[in-house]
Amino acid sequence: MKIKNSENYIKWQKSFERETKIDLSEASSETDEGIKIKPVYTKADIENLSFVDNDSLPGQLPYTRGPKASMYTNRPWTIRQYAGFSTAEESNEFYKKNLKSGQKGLSVAFDLPTHRGYDSDDDLVMGDVGKAGVAIDTVEDMKILFNDIPLDEMSVSMTMNGAVLPVLSSFVVAGEEQNVNKNLLSGTIQNDILKEFMVRNTYIYPPDPSMKIVADIIEFTSKEMPKFNSISISGYHMQEAGADNVLELAYTLADGMEYVRAALSKGLDIDDFAPRLSFFFAIGTDFFMEIAKLRAARTLWYKIMKDFGAKDERSMILRTHCQTSGVSLTEKDPYNNIIRTSYEALSAILGGTQSLHTNSFDEAIALPTDESARIARNTQLILQNETGVTNTIDPLAGSYFIESLTDELSKKAWEIIEEIESLGGMTKAVKAGVPKLKIEESATKKQAKVDSGSRVVVGVNKFKNPKEPKVDVRVIDNNRVREDQIKKINDIKASRDQKAVDESLAKLVAAAKEDSNLLACSIDAIKNRATVGEVSKALEQVYGRHFATSLSVSGVYGKHFEGNKDYMNVAKKVNTFEEENGRRPRVLIVKMGQDGHDRGAKIVATSFADMGFDVDMGPLFQSPKDVAKDAIENDVHAIGVSTLAAGHKTLVPELMKSLKKIDPNSKIVVFVGGVIPEQDYDFLYENNISAIFGPGSNIIESAETVIDLISDKIHKNN
């Protein structure tokens, strides 16, 4: 007898409809991914699934239930906390302290100048040195970073894409000078440049030469570094930029397919390199969706690699690192973030991750303190040692809901993968801007749901704390770090063999022109004490530096607020302004310095435009002088500065000085949004900032504040 026609099911349906006053046919909810979630699932929901095999077992194809037969019953996931800040000396001390406290692997965060291939003495990076990661200018910094940490015993993950050649080269040389041959080095280099063009923007070169660099690294490491993972194909930053789980899953796997093709173009056999490919996913607040996503990822990757002709089973296994969501963390009522991170971590574990980073609760405010980092690490230790989650493999397998959701995610992701393939693969899709626009549309929809209240964020738009707690934050003295780095650079340049440096950089340029392997040449240059910036600029002579065209979606935010009183009130104020002044209020939204995280800036630009503002979106990586010049030349009423990388105390005052220098009578309103500790508010206000909007700020309320500030300034001047 069919379950839905059974006596018990009909009895349950009547009870449900009586209790809820809702017809069962109308009771489903819909996720961001467009997946209908029913109130109840039965055995019928897991019959005739498209991708999921209900009889599969852990460690067996298609690896839905995990890449290993024993999973955590034999060895728990690796606790791999991502960290790095200030100087190599300070980060080294932080690493050693964490390793003593139970951390099992290192994951290095580099500062933005390093990511973008600039040395710390470059004028373009004055506000970014040491701020969002550790500054690495030469191999000497890398050696300090791993001082007293044996590289033949410790697995090291490095989040690096733009300046991947000099940074990986520095790691190799640091190992050699620690008497560790490169064939003994273990760990992972992210080396995932395609997602940089989609969301994170720490690229240096255009897409085609960037893909050549990826392929060169896969080729070199497959031959010379058998224990090292040559790439970590990352969906994490896509979700952080606003992608829903289907987009994150599909685009990540489509990126993986493109990297496989790049490696095959080098003449490599797929089974020579595929076993060392790894992945990196974000884990957000949709608990069951995230579990299903990891299961679907393994299922689909098996299919993809089989289609590529892989024979070695290890080539078909998707192994992944996961990190809890940063964008889910809130500045308001921040201790709630400990709870969010805990269940995100549990979701990753139930999904079968191989390693995990748990975010610190204060990361929506500033870099983690030692205490908040300890809580984040202990979250994993408690899960490993106190909850029993390591006793059973894939405990949710067989769940009608989880199996059905895994299959539904797989189907939707596969449709998008096929769409990307029809465009000629991910490199061509990225050049056309397709993934970037879809992710930005998804991000805008998510923000609109929060601002409209249809998505509850505890402590932000509901259940607000009437007395916000004070939180201690880590403070980085940017000027001190930069001065220290510049001194080290000068000392190395004074003591090195300049002729050897010049010759090795010339060989690197020749290799780029001749299409030879670039990593081998980069290692020689770094060994001779060339800097990260010098290696990057040598390649720039051949490839140029990439500058993205800024595109944005429209109408997506506004359609969630039809008839909304607050939204209509702001739109009315904008219309009144236009009637009184002959033009709409014009706002320039900008990023300054090397911070490429533009999710917040894009959402503000889109939503303000939907409310009627005339919005200009400045290009990435502008200097304060460039922003001031653009603002005055385009006669804007206000500048909105988006900052996530802690450079606000340097860059914002420089912007204010530049405005006054160009136009002493400038009446432009300047407001700032992003990750700004409350203790910095007074400093910014003293520098004549008109408003500050922290993470979680309601955009409609922020827009009303901005239009009021602009109107007040004009009335005062009249």
Which of these is catalytic: 237, 293, 357, 438? 237
E-state strands within 156-221? 156-158, 187-189
Q: What is the mean pLDDT of residues 392-418?
A: 98
Which of these is catalytic: 412, 597, 602, 648? 597
- ∠ Cα 164 207 643 (to 5°): 70
Is the predicted pLDDT of residue 281 greater than 50, yes or no?
yes
Residues 6+ apart with CB under 8 A from 674: 600, 641, 642, 643, 644, 648, 694, 695
Write down the pLDDT at residue 471.
Answer: 86
Assess whether 236 carries a catalytic annotation: yes
Nearest to 129 by CA among 526, 530, 589, 532: 532
Q: Which residues pair with 82 in a beta bridge?
A: 107
- As a whole number of angstroms, the distance between CA 559 and CA 669 comes to 28
pLDDT tens, residue by residue, 477-493: 778 999 999 999 999 99
Pairwise pLDDT comparison (131 vs 257), residue with the higher score:
257
Q: Which of 181-190, 200-209, 595-604 has the lowest mean pLDDT?
A: 595-604
Assess whether 237 carries a catalytic annotation: yes
Pairwise pLDDT comparison (270 vs 554), residue with the higher score:
270
Is the predicted pLDDT of residue 288 greater than 70, yes or no?
yes
With bands split at pLDDT 50, 70 and 90, how would you rate the model's confidence at 85?
Answer: confident
Write down the pLDDT at residue 679.
Answer: 86
Which of these is catalytic: 68, 332, 591, 649? 591
Is the predicted pLDDT of residue 551 greater than 80, yes or no?
no
What is the number of other CB atoms lying within 10 angstroms of the CB of residue 210? 22
CA distances from 437 to 192, 210, 236, 448, 602 (A): 19, 21, 17, 17, 11
Write down the pLDDT at residue 84.
Answer: 67
With bands split at pLDDT 50, 70 and 90, how would you rate the model's confidence at 131?
Answer: confident
Residues 6+ apart with CB under 8 A from 5: none
pLDDT tens, residue by residue, 418-476: 999 999 999 999 999 999 999 999 999 999 999 999 999 999 999 999 988 888 877 77
Assess whether 72 carries a catalytic annotation: no
Write down the pLDDT at residue 575.
Answer: 96
Write down the pLDDT at residue 641.
Answer: 96
Q: Which of 166-170, 409-413, 590-594 has the lowest mean pLDDT?
A: 590-594
Q: What is the mean pLDDT of residues 64-70?
A: 97
pLDDT tens, residue by residue, 667-706: 999 999 988 888 899 999 999 999 999 888 999 999 999 9
B/e letters for 118-152, b = 16+ CB within 10 Å, e = fewer, are bbbbbeebbbbbbbbbbbbbbbbbbbbbbeeeebe
Contact call for residues 577 and 584 (beta carbons, < 8 A): yes
CA distances from 561 to 439, 445, 459, 606, 610 (A): 21, 11, 22, 14, 10
Residue by residue, what is the 3-state secondary structure of 591-656?
A: EECCCCCCHHHHHHHHHHHHCCCEEEECCCCECHHHHHHHHHHCCCCEEEEEECCCCHHHHHHHHH
Assess whether 715 carries a catalytic annotation: no
With bands split at pLDDT 50, 70 and 90, how would you rate the model's confidence at 416?
Answer: very high
Global confidence as pTM: 0.92
Assess whether 597 carries a catalytic annotation: yes
List the strands of the sheet with 355-357, edge to edge: 228-229, 187-189, 156-158, 105-108, 78-83, 355-357, 320-324, 277-283, 231-234
Write down the pLDDT at residue 696.
Answer: 81
Which of these is catalytic: 32, 68, 72, 82? 82
Measure CA 168 to chain center: 20
Helix (H, G, I), strand (E, B), or coil: what is residue 673? strand
Is the predicted pLDDT of residue 651 greater than 50, yes or no?
yes
Q: Which of 351-365, 520-534, 538-552 has the lowest mean pLDDT?
A: 538-552
Which of these is catalytic: 63, 72, 203, 236? 236
Which of these is catalytic: 192, 595, 598, 610? 595
* Average pLDDT of the chain, as a whole number: 93
Write down the pLDDT at residue 475.
Answer: 77
Whose tokens are 């209900």? That residue is: 54
Write down the pLDDT at residue 369.
Answer: 87
Helix (H, G, I), strand (E, B), or coil: what is residue 110? strand
With bands split at pLDDT 50, 70 and 90, how would you rate the model's confidence at 1?
Answer: very low
Helix (H, G, I), strand (E, B), or coil: what is residue 478? helix
Q: Is the dihedral of CA 438, 444, 446, 449 positive or negative?
A: negative
Angle of helix 565-581 relative to helix 699-717, nearest 10 degrees?
20
Assess whether 82 carries a catalytic annotation: yes
